[in-house]
Amino acid sequence: MNRLLLLFSLLCALVASVPAPAATRLNFILIYTDDQRWDAMGVVQREQGEKARFPWLRTPNMDRLAAEGVRFRNAFVVNSLCAPSRATFLTGRYGHFNGVVNNHTPFPESNVTFASLLREAGYRTGYVGKWHMGSQCGQRPGFDYSASFVGQGKYFDCPVEVNGKPAATQGWIDDVSTDYALGFLQENRARPFALVLGYKSTHSPCEPTERHKDDYAGEQARAVPNYGLQAIYNGGGKRLGNAAPADKVPANLGYFRTINSVDDSIGRVLKTLDDLKLTQNTVVVFASDNGYYLGEHSLGDKRSAYEESLRIPLIVRYPPLNRKGATTDRMALNTDLAPTFLDFAGVPVPKEMQGRSLRPVLEEKPGDWRKAFFYAYFYEKNYRIPTVTAVRTDTAKLVRYPGHDEWAELFDLRRDPYETRNLIADPAAAELRRELEAAYEREKNAIAFRIPEFADRPDQDARAPLKTTVLEFHFDRDEGDRVTDASGKTNPGTAHSAPLVDGRNGGKARRFDGKGYIEIAKSATLDPAVAGWTLDATFKSDRPDGVIVACGGRSQGYVLYLEGGKPVFAVTANNRTSRVTANQTVGGEWVRVTARVTGRLQLRLEIDGKPAGQAPLHDFIGRQPNEGLQIGADLGSTVESRMLPQFVGLIESVRLYSGEAP
């Protein structure tokens, strides 16, 4: 009998040591978009009812995920910035531990990620789409397969690296990324897999697919109480506009059109899982790498610690949970994704991971769940946003700006969800302040917070201009659509339907018909985030309205254009636009217009060398714009709040000087 028992025990141990067949092991897919705020989904807009900012928004496939899974209504990132957030999703750790606290640092290949651990456990791992992490190239660390572009890439015909080897592509990049992802699913359908699909949408310049380019035409957003209220680090709570919550205000429709475009791609992934009969056995997570301001606190972009920046969409679908259409207000963080995947896979979660598995919440057994978390954004060179730290609880928030105690903010989110009243000096909020200060120290210590030595420092921020010509187009050396830069800084352009024609005195010019333009890629020498910038253009216009030169968009950028025949020079710095209009009209004759940003915060216009206008500039451009430079148009994210018409006429030369040109 003892021998039989021993034999039975040995057989049980042998069976337990054999890996489970692929059919019984879960698969994992993380899909995340870029810069998609928490409420930029149709399901949330419908839930908000009369308070919805974008009630016309429709996202059927994101809504399908919400209807078939669990939607977290209080999901946050611990650093609202692309690369640091993506690194945190992968590692389950804050940036001061995983080595990524800005957008220009490569992801350390020594990092332990959920992908590397699942691969060790027998999973096939794949990464497709946007990686970012500076301009890091090559096979993505921790993944068996990768099909990913470098840096920000571009929306159309974006080069991709497949397992580190360059490959040309055609079409809209998130459609292309989805093609690669579906190929990975087909190839690995019979084995356990973990796939990360990182989309470029909705990052500026917000170029949607052709099928969605006209969506929501004429729609506007609903204002909210903090719309136009100035961020404390940009001026101390002043209101820049008088919009009431019921008012309609401009919406960046390109942003929502890219959401619709990427929603189609998500639908293709879900359909493929259905077709491959993998839906029941696959945990699908949908999220975004950070939130995004759309005029709240007079901001665009993200980074700082107001709600619109911190909060993200987060949906988890795993059909065996039997929680279709469920919502939870439990606090979830991007640190939680890695331990969640490992927990469901039965792989031990390393103690170094700072997040918590969401499995107890998903299974409605949350226990003693978190009530607060610590947030930290680290100053980046060439950006104007300071280092920000905060503690966010279920009901309140304390924000601190190291080195600027006078900017501290305290908000009671129950009574003031839009963060319009800073209670830091309010005697009636003294008890709340004590509670939040204690929570701040507790959460700070829990993550061993520090400003790491690899973070940028303000004293490293070189904003002095180059004091040299950085772009010079005369078109006389051009061949076809290639535009030659005579400045010596190697900033060539590509002409799109802007043909070479004969100009004056035997020279050449480019003709623009209202549809053509010249595109110049961004480069270090074309960075206008300096204390002085000069733009000079010689042209003959056939219409009184049209863009001559534009760079950047609604957050940072500049544009020289004609309006009613008068030259206008507008500069948007940190989401606020300053402009100067010339005191005379031009048109029908050759004219030289010079636009200057001076080191004394002035905008100046000159026509044929004579002063034609001057206006104050509220601030220098805070960082290099995401978009490149265009001549004859301002496409994508526009510098002005409205779409400006393209130029019609001849342009003979364009010159850019980094500094105040003599």
Q: Is the pLDDT of residue 417 over 50?
A: yes
Spatial contact of 366 and 330, defined as CB atoms under 8 Å apart: yes
Q: Is the pLDDT of residue 574 over 80?
A: no
Which residues make Cβ contacts (< 8 Å) with residue 164, sequence separation at least 6? 137, 138, 139, 146
What is the reported pLDDT for 4? Answer: 41
CATH superfamily entry for domain 22-365? Alkaline Phosphatase, subunit A (3.40.720.10)
Q: Is the pLDDT of residue 2 over 50?
A: no
Q: What integer best gives the mean pLDDT of the chain?
A: 92
Residue 351's alpha-carbon distances to 92, 208, 242, 524, 582, in angstroms, are 10, 42, 50, 41, 63
Query: Cα(632)–Cα(645) distance, rounded to whole angstroms?
Result: 9
What is the reported pLDDT for 94? Answer: 98
Q: Is the pLDDT of residue 332 over 50?
A: yes
What is the reported pLDDT for 7? Answer: 42
Q: Cα dihedral sign for 488, 493, 498, 499?
A: positive
Spatial contact of 567 and 647, defined as CB atoms under 8 Å apart: no
Find the helix packing angle between 253-275 and 173-187, rounded to 10°: 20
Q: Is 307 left (phi over 0), alpha (psi -120 to 50) or beta?
A: alpha
Which residues make Cβ contacts (< 8 Å) with residue 195, sequence separation at least 6? 27, 28, 29, 30, 125, 126, 127, 128, 181, 184, 185
What is the reported pLDDT for 5? Answer: 40
What is the reported pLDDT for 459? Answer: 62
Tens digit of pLDDT for each residue in 361-373? 999 999 999 999 9
Using a pLDDT cut of 70, give the percent of the chain over it.
94
Domain boundaries, the chain: 22-365, 468-658
Find the helix packing angle between 60-68 and 253-275, rounded to 10°: 50
pLDDT confidence tier of residue 135, bands split at 50, 70 and 90: confident
> In terms of pLDDT, which residue wins out, 238 or 16?
238
Spatial contact of 315 and 334, defined as CB atoms under 8 Å apart: no
Tell me the two tokens of residue 619: 């601030």
pLDDT confidence tier of residue 1, bands split at 50, 70 and 90: very low
Across 337-357, average pLDDT: 98
What is the reported pLDDT for 155? Answer: 95
> In terms of pLDDT, which residue wins out, 576 or 453?
453
Q: Can the peptide bond before residue 468 be classed as cis, meaning omega within 30 degrees of 0?
A: no
Q: Is the pLDDT of residue 114 over 60?
A: yes
Spatial contact of 528 and 625, defined as CB atoms under 8 Å apart: yes
Query: Cα(192)–Cα(26) distance, rounded to whole angstroms?
Result: 6
> In terms of pLDDT, which residue wins out, 270 or 19?
270
pLDDT confidence tier of residue 423, bands split at 50, 70 and 90: very high
pLDDT confidence tier of residue 531, bands split at 50, 70 and 90: confident
Q: pTM of the entire structure?
A: 0.72
> In terms of pLDDT, which residue wins out, 316 or 460?
316
pLDDT confidence tier of residue 14, bands split at 50, 70 and 90: very low
pLDDT confidence tier of residue 15, bands split at 50, 70 and 90: very low
The closest alpha carbon to 221, from 253, 260, 248, belongs to 248
DSSP 239: B
Across 52-77, average pLDDT: 98
Q: Is the pLDDT of residue 16 over 60?
A: no
pLDDT confidence tier of residue 237, bands split at 50, 70 and 90: low
Spatial contact of 303 and 383, defined as CB atoms under 8 Å apart: yes
What is the reported pLDDT for 245? Answer: 74
Helix (H) or strand (E) holding 653: strand 648-658
Q: What is the DSSP string of 142-184?
A: T-SEEEEESTT--SBS--EEETTEEE---SBHHHHHHHHHHHH
pLDDT confidence tier of residue 576, bands split at 50, 70 and 90: confident
First to last CA, the chain: 102
pLDDT confidence tier of residue 461, bands split at 50, 70 and 90: low
What is the reported pLDDT for 637? Answer: 80
Tell me the CATH number of domain 468-658, given options 2.60.120.200, 3.90.580.10, 1.10.579.10, 3.40.630.10. 2.60.120.200
What is the reported pLDDT for 240? Answer: 66
Strand partners, 560: 549, 569
pLDDT confidence tier of residue 641, bands split at 50, 70 and 90: confident
Tell me the two tokens of residue 219: 């729609």
pLDDT confidence tier of residue 626, bands split at 50, 70 and 90: confident
What is the reported pLDDT for 625? Answer: 87
Edge-first strand order for the sheet with 193-198 is 165-167, 160-162, 145-149, 124-130, 193-198, 27-33, 282-288, 314-317, 70-72, 326-328
Tens digit of pLDDT for each residue in 153-166? 999 999 999 999 99
What is the reported pLDDT for 460? Answer: 58
pLDDT confidence tier of residue 555, bands split at 50, 70 and 90: confident
